[in-house]
Structure 1
Amino acid sequence: MTFHVPAVDIAPYVSEGTAAERAAVARAIDEACRTVGFIQITGHGIPASVQAGLAAAMDEFFAQPLPAKKAYSTPPGINRGYAPPKSESLSLSLGVESASRMNDFFEAFNVGATAADYPDSPVELDPVHYAANVWPSADAPGFEPRVSAYFAEARRVARTMTEIFADALDLPAGFFDAFTGHSLDVLRMNNYALPPGTVDLDGELTGMGEHTDYGIVTVLWADQVRGLQVLAADGSWNDVSPADDALLINLGDLTARWTNERWMSTLHRVKPPIVDGTIERRRSAAYFHDGDFDALISTLPSCISDARPDRYPEPVTVGDHIAAKLAGSRAGVANPHATREAARVAAARP
């Protein structure tokens, strides 16, 4: 069976479509979430100039010498700033050991929602979860304004997706608002175009290890370059790249828990191709919409039945779930709470 990522035009939710048009979008999203877990979306409304600005900002920063970039690193528990090559292992977020514990060769820069972004929060916001951003203004002066412009647009798209999710799951309008008033949102910008000699190109090269995303929904901008691979239901890994003018959408673990795996958090990895002895240039930027750190995630009653008993009888807070995942990927502590996802990795075909 040919693997296919469905394409859905979400314009009716962006530009006041009719009730019938919106219902058709919600049905298409439900089908995609039940069968694949990855979606190509068009009609998202992010201007091409803003996307181009994001790409330019990434190029401006990642072109800096490694010592200059490392000046913007943060401790593993702070999900902000620069992460150099081989400082992470995404497979450990599932508790899956790889040949080298911290072997993912991508470099990244993270920015996220801060406590100052939620001045009306009804709860005190932890300065670790809602840390201030580290901006490389001295070395890359165009970085902050361009990234901030894209962050705002991606945030809008993520919230549009949760609006669609509520309709697709027959939930009350605004259902997810109660869980995202001070959402742990992070934009992670990734670069695989590393200088020669940065990584060993022999053997099984890991750009970004197999993993699921952690939260509710991910909005992914990426170059149209091979590298991203998605695990299909038949256990095969399949190449995926965005179509023209499209963003990629995938579900996170919390949505899988909410829906009792009616909608799956899809396993994916990155293995950029090697061309003429060098890694082909590839960039991506993932906006993670993860929910409030104190929000308690329990399985939706409508997704539990005699035929489909509750796979997640113990509720979990967003903060505890994210902390266990980050302890694996950034601090090298294998996550013991992702046994279902780890089993899917083990069953995958080479």
Structure 2
Amino acid sequence: MKKVPTLDIRRYDTDRAAFVAELGAAYREYGFCGISGHGISRELIDGAYDVFQRFFALPTETKMKYHLAGSGGARGYTPFKVETAKDSKYADLKEFWHVGREIARDSKFADVMPPNLWPTEIPDFKSYGYGLFDALDQLGTRVLRALALHIDLPENYFEDKTEVGNSILRPIHYPPITEDNVPNVRAGAHEDINFITLLVGASAEGLEVLTREGEWLPITTEGDAIVVNIGDMLQRLTNHVYPSTTHRVVNPQNENARKPRYSVPYFLHPNPDVVLDPLPQCITAENPSRYDTSITSHEYLMQRLREIKLI
């Protein structure tokens, strides 16, 4: 039975060459890998889940105070059945919140990276929400170092391209499914837009990844593992050496459908002005460049947000 591997990132410091080779092989095959040994404390993760669950339990009219109509959900709250997977007829069965990077308001990116909203009803929301944003941002940087080495780039290649990236922490609530045969799924089959996604809490069933052979492979994690997958921007930049793999969240076919599901993905984005042209290291006779037009990461993001009906 095929299985997406889980690798201990501490081996980057103790057994680097083998770790980089195994990680690179996992991403080339699946576009997904579990990362353990990351050092993000259980207290931070549990505390963040607790504040997010308390927010989603608030009355709808309270949550809607934090919904910025017309903003594409870039910050604050997005209600149920708004986001729709590309080419899907049915909206996803979820509501979510977006925490973005805190940047100086005189930054050149301030016009495309708005300030965060923080719900006053949940006092610890900001400290746990931004604490988890920061921890996952740092872990993503470590994963990108290994990914850079695997394709013969300098270890720190991605760092000045992501340090003010338009990254997003997205706590998601999938409510209990109370009726049978709903046409919607919790999250329709899709690929992520960004560089890499780090998912905390894939312990609940439902997440599935599409293999090269066209089979849906369930992913659940054990222990402290965080699922990290490649997004479309990194696929484009690496000329598909690192594939952005289709995945979905299916409705459980058992009593768990009647329970809520929570998950917290962190979407690590490049800086808005990074140009996503295929890297020379990833262009070969067997893998010629697949793109002949240039696009910045911000232009790419806007194009995709329109496709999924967020703007």
Q: So what's the TM-score if we normalise by structure 1? A: 0.84
Aligned partner of 1:134 in structure 2 is 117
Spell out, residue by residue over 1:226-264, the C-alpha distance to the aligned partner (whole angstroms, 9 max, x if none): 111111111122211122210000001111112211110
Once the two structures are overlaid, the 10-residue window that deviates more, 76-85 or 208-217, is 76-85
Paired residues for 1:90-239 under 5 Å: 91-92=85-86, 96=87, 98-100=88-90, 103-116=91-104, 124-127=108-111, 129-137=112-120, 139-194=121-176, 196=178, 200-239=179-218
Q: Are positions 1:27 and 2:21 aligned together?
A: yes
DSSP-derived class of the 1:154 partner? helix
Structure 1 distance, partners of 2:202, 2:284, is 41
Which of 302, 311, 321 aligns to 2:300? It is 321
Does the 8 A contact of 2:75 with 2:117 survive in 1? yes
The alpha-carbon distance between structure 1 residues 247 and 276, as it changes in their structure 2 partners (threshold 3 A), is closer
Aligned partner of 2:30 in structure 1 is 36
DSSP-derived class of the 1:316 partner? coil
Which of 61, 64, 79 aligns to 1:67? It is 61
Aligned residues: 310
Does the 8 A contact of 2:202 with 2:219 survive in 1? no
Does the 8 A contact of 1:216 with 1:253 survive in 2? yes
User: Which ranges in structure 2 are unaligned for 5 or more consecutive residues?
Assistant: none
Aligned partner of 2:275 in structure 1 is 296
Amino acid of the residue matched to residue 79 of structure 1?
A
DSSP-derived class of the 1:248 partner? strand
Amino acid of the residue matched to residue 298 of structure 1?
D
Structure 1 distance, partners of 2:298, 2:10, is 32
Structure 1 distance, partners of 2:103, 2:180, is 41
The alpha-carbon distance between structure 1 residues 272 and 278, as it changes in their structure 2 partners (threshold 3 A), is closer
The alpha-carbon distance between structure 1 residues 203 and 63, as it changes in their structure 2 partners (threshold 3 A), is closer
Amino acid of the residue matched to residue 160 of structure 1?
R
Amino acid of the residue matched to residue 69 of structure 1?
K
Spell out, residue by residue over 1:148-170, the C-alpha distance to the aligned partner (whole angstroms, 9 max, x if none): 11111111101111111111111
Cα distance, 1:281 vs structure 2: 2.4
Spell out, residue by residue over 1:277-327, the C-alpha distance to the aligned partner (whole angstroms, 9 max, x if none): 953321111111110101111111121122211112222200011111111
The alpha-carbon distance between structure 1 residues 133 and 250, as it changes in their structure 2 partners (threshold 3 A), is same
Spell out, residue by residue over 1:110-146, the C-alpha distance to the aligned partner (whole angstroms, 9 max, x if none): 11013328x7x5xx1142x211111102x21121111
Q: Are positions 1:273 and 2:246 aligned together?
A: no
Amino acid of the residue matched to residue 190 of structure 2?
H
Aligned partner of 1:55 in structure 2 is 49
Cα distance, 1:181 vs structure 2: 2.9
Q: Are positions 1:6 and 2:32 aligned together?
A: no
Once the two structures are overlaid, the 10-residue window that deviates more, 205-214 or 152-161, is 205-214
Structure 1 distance, partners of 2:257, 2:165, is 39
Q: Could you say what the CA RMSD is over the residues aligned between the two structures, in angstroms?
A: 1.9
Does the 8 A contact of 2:145 with 2:158 survive in 1? yes
Does the 8 A contact of 1:85 with 1:104 survive in 2? yes
Structure 1 distance, partners of 2:182, 2:102, is 40
Q: So what's the TM-score if we normalise by structure 2? A: 0.94
The alpha-carbon distance between structure 1 residues 241 and 164, as it changes in their structure 2 partners (threshold 3 A), is same
Amino acid of the residue matched to residue 127 of structure 2?
P
Does the 8 A contact of 1:299 with 1:313 survive in 2? no
Does the 8 A contact of 2:202 with 2:220 survive in 1? yes
DSSP-derived class of the 2:166 partner? strand
Structure 2 distance, partners of 1:45, 1:278, is 32
